[in-house]
């Protein structure tokens, strides 16, 4: 898995899947995962997208095969956005389609608002513009991780994340994959999360934008999502009937098809 040294001793891992025709110019789709995940979160999306575009999957700083962060790492949301910009520069990519799930969607929103020349089209899947709503949950999450470990915390919190319809086998896979996240990364990251709010920035987004949420998302009601989505000129909101908030995981085939059609249809 390729790595890019973003700063001394800190590497970002990424994957680039390309099943396009070599003789046809192809765009690049950047996929940004959510909290306690990795590039593996996008498995269902690669087959749907990789005949149309090169698919770039990043392990965010501290996650997956990227360098774990110490518990006292001074996390900044702006740094996560800057990491993406640096990786695109490293790979020589002047413009991409950006797709993000959960906080990866929040990063994608900020990327499109702050660096409009980099983003051709934008898709946000269950990604909130503000994460202030989890402020009352993160102290308990941190305590449980410190006490019981990351896998136990993921298992205990997955009901709201994945909803009630996910098959047990799929739920077990997601729990195992997310449970591999370093506890030290989550300790600092979860202190940053409640302070993330890009709501004041979304009106600056000029890229054609698709926002997907669910009828029962715990990260914001449909009305709350629509309130910021409508600030993005010409954007489209699609609501999937489910009680999850991680729609890319709970409804992978439907959301992958929505993104494919939005980007290439």
Query: What is the CATH number for 32?
Result: 3.40.50.1820
Vertex 14: Cα angle to 13 and 20 (nearest 5): 165
Percent of the chain exceeding pLDDT 90 equals 97
Tell me the sheet residues that pair with 13.
3
Q: Do 56 and 32 meet the contact criterion of CB atoms below 8 Å apart?
A: no
Average pLDDT value for residue range 209-224: 95
Q: In total, how many domains does the chain have?
A: 1
pLDDT in tens, 15-71: 999 999 999 999 999 999 999 999 999 999 999 999 999 999 999 999 999 999 999
pLDDT of 217 over the 90 cut:
yes
Which of 243, 220, 181 has the alpha carbon at shortest distance from 35?
Answer: 181
pLDDT of the residue at 132:
95
Residues 6+ apart with CB under 8 A from 89: none
Residue range of the domain that includes 124: 3-264
pLDDT of 174 over the 90 cut:
yes
pLDDT of the residue at 153:
97
Reported pTM: 0.97
Q: Do 70 and 92 meet the contact criterion of CB atoms below 8 Å apart?
A: no
DSSP 130: B
pLDDT of 195 over the 90 cut:
yes
């Amino acid at each position: 898995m390729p790595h890019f040294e973003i700063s001394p001793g800190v590497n970002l891992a990424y994957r680039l899947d390309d099943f396009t025709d070599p003789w046809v110019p192809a765009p690049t789709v950047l996929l940004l995962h959510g909290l306690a995940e990795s590039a593996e979160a996008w498995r269902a999306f690669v087959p749907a997208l990789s005949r149309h575009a090169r698919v770039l999957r990043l392990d965010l700083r501290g996650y997956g095969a990227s360098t774990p962060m110490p518990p006292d790492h001074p996390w900044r949301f702006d740094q996560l956005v800057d990491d993406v910009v640096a990786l695109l520069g490293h790979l020589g990519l002047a413009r991409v389609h950006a797709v993000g799930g959960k906080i990866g969607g929040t990063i994608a929103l900020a990327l499109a608002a702050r660096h409009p020349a980099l983003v051709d089209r934008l898709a946000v899947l269950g990604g909130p513009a503000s994460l202030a709503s989890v402020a009352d949950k993160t102290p308990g999450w941190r305590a449980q991780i410190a006490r019981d470990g990351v896998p136990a915390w993921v298992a205990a919190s997955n009901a709201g994340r994945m909803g009630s319809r996910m098959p047990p086998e799929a739920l077990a896979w997601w729990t195992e994959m997310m449970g591999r996240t370093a506890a030290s990364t989550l300790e600092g990251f979860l202190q940053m999360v409640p302070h993330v709010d890009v709501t004041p920035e979304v009106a600056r987004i000029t890229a054609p934008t698709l926002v997907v949420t669910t009828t029962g998302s715990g990260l914001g009601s449909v009305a709350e999502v629509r309130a910021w989505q409508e600030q993005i000129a010409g954007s489209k909101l699609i609501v999937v009937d489910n009680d999850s908030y991680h729609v890319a995981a709970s409804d992978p085939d439907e959301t992958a098809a929505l993104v494919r059609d939005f980007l290439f249809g």
